[in-house]
Amino acid sequence: MRYDCSQRDTDAEQMEQLQRQSKKIKLDVNRLCKMKSVSNQPGPALTNYIVWRPRY
């Protein structure tokens, strides 16, 4: 993710939100991985999470 330092102050809130979002996504990915290893099936949702990028 490219980040312009000159916008740091205005984007601080947004960045915080993104970090919270990505934390939640990491938890979801961990849960999906556990589910995947149990069922031994490739999870399509998991690949969606891996290619996830923050959008502004």
Residue 40 lies in a domain: yes
CA dihedral of residues 24, 30, 31, 34 (deg, nearest 10): 180
Would the pLDDT of 4 be above 70?
A: no
Residue 55 falls inside a structural domain: no
Q: Which residue has the higher pLDDT, 22 or 55?
A: 22
State the pLDDT at residue 35: 61
> Looking at the 3D structure of the chain, how many domains does it have?
1
Domain assignment present for residue 44? The answer is yes
The answer as to whether 8 is a domain residue is no
The whole model's pTM is what?
0.31
Residue ranges making up the domain that contains 30: 14-50
34 within domain boundaries: yes
- Express each pLDDT in 10-51 by its tens digit: 677 777 887 887 787 777 777 776 665 555 555 555 555 555
pLDDT at 8: 57
> Would residue 43 count as lying in a domain?
yes
